[in-house]
Amino acid sequence: MIAREAPPWRGPARVAHPTDEGDTASVTETAYACLERDFARIAVLEDAAGILGWDARTTMPLGSADGRAEQLAALRGLVHETVTAERLAERLDAAEAERETLDPWQVANLREMRRTRIHAAAVPRDLVIARAKATARAEIVWREARRTSDFALLRPHLEEVLGLQRAIGQAKGAALGIPAYDALLDQYDPGLRQSRVDALFGPLRRILPDLIAQAQERQGRSAPPRPIEGAFPVEAQRALAETLMRAAGFDFTRGRLDVSLHPFCGGATGDVRITTRYDGTDFTRALMGVLHETGHALYEQGRPAAWQRQPVGRARGMTLHESQSLLIEMQACRSREFLGFLSPLIGRQFGREDPAWSPENLFRLYTRVAPGPIRVDADEVTYPAHILLRYDLERAMIAGDLAVADLPGAFKAGMKALLGLTVTDDADGCLQDIHWPSGGWGYFPTYTLGAVTAAQLFAAACEADAEIRPGLARGDFAPLVGWLRAHVHAAGSSRETDEIVTAATGRPADLDAFLAHLRRRYLGADA
């Protein structure tokens, strides 16, 4: 209703208003200043898409999916147009000439702008469209294929997606001067290369089987933990989750907690929304899920305030993002200190005492090692095995060394080799994840790189501030989150992942802290 200016008492205003900012640069403006404006506009459109995406997964009526897809495609099209416009390339070049006038954050911002442009401009338009269509179709077919455990149904779609991912990797690789798989990694974690992943995953692959066996052997010596039994009203679970989010420093004036089928952290700049899914007969999973997403949200809420809508103000990449969720969930909230604080809160919230949520039993529930076929159900010790398998398989597929037709068998063989499990059903095997059908090749490694980085950051934080662990024991996250804000969140994308981790911990991420953590918690002093 453009011509009818629907006012605030009637519904959303639909008036055509120009924005305050002109589209044409005044002659006195620097190229860099124009770029900041271009990217601020991009960020605002991405924020709009962020809220629409959140709505689609929490709120939207089912029949509105097509309309929403059009809205999101329109916004993405506008972002893509802006990033790939010739004018932006010219401004990037002109801004290089202004380098001496820029401060270090502006220089880093310029670097991130260029990185953004390379990724967007590297892929030909036809390929981008083909990818969007193929993954949209494959995601829909995947849901049905998983439900019926019918890999044959998905196979042609996955082959199509793989072909497109390979082409995208090659196109981006050519633009970046790196191999195709490296280019796919670079999409999710700027600067990440296969050589770096291999250097960490190689030793892990050798050490992990023994560690799993020893942890299981040790756990087998005592009776299993008491199970959680009874009814746990969703409203009480939600209230407890919000209490813990507040304790962790989540800012509810700029964020929300809601429900969705698959938990996620989304929303927009200054409006960070996490979700969970409640089970009325067991509060433990939703509770730790919320704390995990809170870790992501704290990173988003802690990004540098002055650079919120600029590339340099973004979270650095998915390795650091996963490190923040896993640090809060695995390092802080599954610790004996925090569970000692949590235990009486649970009793108070549900209005009864139960030995199932004694600090000791909670710790045993939350650190139970039990190899199983499903990645998202995996414990902290066996989880890396799921990632190693997927990393091997997706590299082989991108390289052309593994045909999609052979994926089910290779997946089963890998599960047998890595965890000793016999998977009979593809629904519990290579059909369990949405990542590959939806085009997320190169993403899986960041989960375990995040776990490794989380352990190193947490160890450094606890060493730097002796108040962090005692703080967790009284539900006071301020010392921990203060350290994370200063050493991780506030850095935004001003430095590379390795530089941020080195500045925070003295060295790039290695396996030492992660393995020490697992050994202490599952084999040693904490076990």
Q: Which residue numbers are catalytic?
A: 293
Burial (Cβ within 10 Å: 0-12, 13-18, ≥19) of residue 463: exposed
Nearest approach, Cβ of residue 419 and its own copies (Å) = 21
Q: Which strands form 255-259's sheet, in the order they lie side by side?
A: 255-259, 271-276, 265-268
Query: Which listed range, 54-62, 219-227, 240-248, 379-387, lies at the site for its own copies (CB under 8 A)?
Result: 54-62
CA-to-CA distance for 288 and 286, rounded, in angstroms?
6
431-470 positions binding its own copies, by CB under 8 A: 433-435, 438-440, 443
**Is position 16 an interface residue for its own copies (rule: CB under 8 A)?**
yes
- Closer CB to its own copies, 384 or 471, in the complex: 384
- Closer CB to its own copies, 197 or 318, in the complex: 318
Nearest approach, Cβ of residue 218 and its own copies (Å) = 32
126-165 positions binding its own copies, by CB under 8 A: 128-129, 131-132, 139
| Member of 32, 34, 35, 83 binding its own copies (CB under 8 A) | 83
Query: Which amino acid, residue 117?
Result: R
Nearest approach, Cβ of residue 74 and its own copies (Å) = 5
Helical (H) or strand (E) element with 266: strand 265-268
**Is position 67 an interface residue for its own copies (rule: CB under 8 A)?**
yes
CA-to-CA distance for 280 and 496, rounded, in angstroms?
43
- Closer CB to its own copies, 440 or 445, in the complex: 440
Q: Give the CA angle between residues 409, 411, 416 to the nearest 5°.
A: 95
| Member of 24, 27, 62, 86 binding its own copies (CB under 8 A) | 62
**Is position 50 an interface residue for its own copies (rule: CB under 8 A)?**
yes
**Is position 225 an interface residue for its own copies (rule: CB under 8 A)?**
no
Nearest approach, Cβ of residue 58 and its own copies (Å) = 9
| Member of 10, 99, 143, 147 binding its own copies (CB under 8 A) | 10
| Member of 116, 194, 323, 494 binding its own copies (CB under 8 A) | 116
What is residue 310's three-state secondary structure? Answer: coil
Closest CA to 426 of 445, 407, 400: 407
Assigned token pair, 496:
């590379």
CA-to-CA distance for 112 and 493, rounded, in angstroms?
8
- Closer CB to its own copies, 73 or 527, in the complex: 73
What is residue 312's three-state secondary structure? Answer: helix
C-beta atoms surrounding 66 within 10 Å: 8
- Closer CB to its own copies, 190 or 373, in the complex: 190
Phi, psi of 339 (to 5 degrees): -65, -30
Nearest approach, Cβ of residue 345 and its own copies (Å) = 24
**Is position 66 an interface residue for its own copies (rule: CB under 8 A)?**
yes
CA-to-CA distance for 346 and 517, rounded, in angstroms?
26
**One symbol per residue from 241 to 280: x for binding its own copies (CB under 8 A), - otherwise; what is it?**
----------xxxxxx-----x-xxxxxxxx---------
CA-to-CA distance for 111 and 496, rounded, in angstroms?
11
Helical (H) or strand (E) element with 157: helix 151-176
CA-to-CA distance for 402 and 396, rounded, in angstroms?
5
**Is position 306 an interface residue for its own copies (rule: CB under 8 A)?**
no
**Is position 115 an interface residue for its own copies (rule: CB under 8 A)?**
yes
- Closer CB to its own copies, 125 or 206, in the complex: 125
What is residue 258's three-state secondary structure? Answer: strand
Nearest approach, Cβ of residue 397 and its own copies (Å) = 17
**Is position 77 an interface residue for its own copies (rule: CB under 8 A)?**
yes
- Closer CB to its own copies, 440 or 479, in the complex: 440
- Closer CB to its own copies, 299 or 363, in the complex: 299
Count, residues near its own copies per rule CB under 8 A: 99
**Is position 317 an interface residue for its own copies (rule: CB under 8 A)?**
yes
Assigned token pair, 247:
């304790």
Nearest approach, Cβ of residue 481 and its own copies (Å) = 18
Nearest approach, Cβ of residue 12 and its own copies (Å) = 3
C-beta atoms surrounding 106 within 10 Å: 20
Assigned token pair, 282:
């067991």
C-beta atoms surrounding 68 within 10 Å: 15
| Member of 26, 27, 28, 61 binding its own copies (CB under 8 A) | 61
CA-to-CA distance for 387 and 465, rounded, in angstroms?
32
